[in-house]
Amino acid sequence: MKAVRFHAHGGPEVLRYEDAADPIPGPGEALVRVRACALNHLDLWQRRGMDRVQIPFPHISGADVAGDVISTPNGEFGAGRRVMLQPGLSCARCAACLDGRDNECPKYDVLGYRSDGGYAEIVRVPVQNLIAIPDSIGYVDAAAFPLAFLTAWHMLVTRARLRAGEDVLVLGAGSGVGQAAIQIAWRHGARVFATAGTDEKLAKARQLGAYEVINHTAQDLPAKVREFTNGRGVDVVFEHVGTATWDRSLKSLTRGGRLVTCGATTGHDAQIDLRVLFTRQISLLGSYMGRKAELLRAAQFFFAGELRPVIDKTFPLAEAADAHRRLEAREQFGKLVLVV
């Protein structure tokens, strides 16, 4: 098969479009012919190299995949069945998995992280990671949906326990998880404020459901939030940027507010005055990926047309390096997708 692999860490130039051996399924595993694979920031971190994380070389990235079933154990899914993949990999046997908390599995992994992923013509996954998609859903949209919407759903609905009528601040509206969060929060009856760095991105955030928007490069974020909320602050901050926005995110919260975070794209160093934490009764919530049951729930809204991933641009698989450059430059609004 053809695949995009890297044999050493580095810039986008280390990505090679080349021949690779077809994956061989093990017990309980399915083979899927990849039709589309969406990019995530995880792909960039893997390619560059991460502290204390060993990536097997040569490596195929790609967690967000849609395609056609080639084979499954015992024929659970017929050949040719159109599917998208649950990106989280778990053992399916431990107490957390059996309790439905598969993202807390001690062996939890993400497709394409330490295993080979979807930057290829064929991918191997556990059969329980297959999710059938209706004919009305295209492969590109299906590939762009799982990781971003699963992450945003778990953050807002499960961890932050978002309620109708609350105010939510979504950082980085142009990111895949940011555009998902705006839609999910709006669908749950929240009033959404969103940030972005350009007028074009801010306009698109409004189209998705943002009530007010803030240019985080030119405006005082906490001051604008106070202005929009009559001095109160927001109930929930959806944080995934990290060091660059941490202080401003905390200052944007109302008393008893919740900050939920899933990432640190600008750095992982963050500080907080403990007196502010306890006197204002702020909750800090960590969130990582999400449960398969949550993805299945969110997918019902996706299949009904009520949630829809925003596609920024598609690239042929062979041009994965160009897609990486666009993501690194933060030029996109929404998801970048490789078409296989």
The model's confidence at residue 201, banded by pLDDT at 50, 70 and 90, is very high
The residue-averaged pLDDT of 304-317 equals 97
- Judged against a pLDDT cut of 90, whether residue 242 lies above it is answered with no
The reply to whether 236 and 333 lie within a common domain is: no
Structural domain includes residue 276: yes
Asked if residue 159 and residue 132 are part of one domain, the reply reads no
Read off the DSSP letter of residue 159. Answer: I
Residues 115 and 161 grouped into a single domain: no
Shared domain for 40 and 80, answered yes or no, is yes
Dihedral-angle region of residue 40 (phi above 0 means left; psi in -120 to 50 means alpha; beta otherwise) = beta
Are 7 and 30 in the same domain?
yes
Q: Are residues 322 and 224 in the same domain?
A: no
Q: Which residue stretches of the chain are H helix?
A: 41-48, 95-98, 139-144, 146-153, 176-187, 199-208, 221-228, 246-251, 274-279, 292-303, 320-328
Q: What's the chain's average pLDDT?
A: 95
The CATH number of residue 226's host domain is 3.40.50.720
* Domain span holding position 231: 149-286
Q: Are residues 260 and 224 both part of a single domain?
A: yes
Residue 228 is assigned to a structural domain of this protein? yes
Residues of the chain with pLDDT > 90: what percent?
Answer: 89
Q: Is residue 200 part of a domain?
A: yes
- Whole-number pLDDT of residue 244: 81
* Same-domain check for residues 202 and 271: yes
The answer to whether residues 12 and 139 belong to one domain is yes
* Residues 108/89, Cβ–Cβ less than 8 Å: yes
Q: Is 107 within the bounds of a domain?
A: yes
108 shares its domain with 242: no
In a domain, 292, yes or no: no
pLDDT for the residue 60:
98
Number of H helices, E strands in the chain: 11, 17
Report, as an integer, the average pLDDT of 62-87: 94
Give residue 74's pLDDT band: very low, low, confident or very high (50, 70, 90). confident
pLDDT at 243 over 90: no
Any domain includes 48 = yes
Number of folded domains in the chain?
2
* 124/170 same-domain check: no
Q: What is the pLDDT of residues 126-140, one digit of tens each?
A: 999 999 999 999 999
Quote the Cα angle for 322-203-254, to 5°: 105
Lowest mean pLDDT among 85-99, 210-224, 259-273: 259-273
Q: Are residues 203 and 161 in the same domain?
A: yes
- Tell whether 300 is covered by a domain: no
Residue 6 sits in a domain whose CATH number is 3.90.180.10
What is the structure's pLDDT at 100? 95
Global confidence as pTM: 0.95
Q: For the chain, first and last CA: distance in Å?
A: 11
Half-sphere exposure in the Cβ direction for 309 (13 Å, CA)? 31
Beta bridge partners, 29, equal: 126
Per-residue pLDDT tens over the stretch 127-184: 999 999 999 999 999 999 999 999 999 999 999 999 999 999 999 999 999 999 999 9
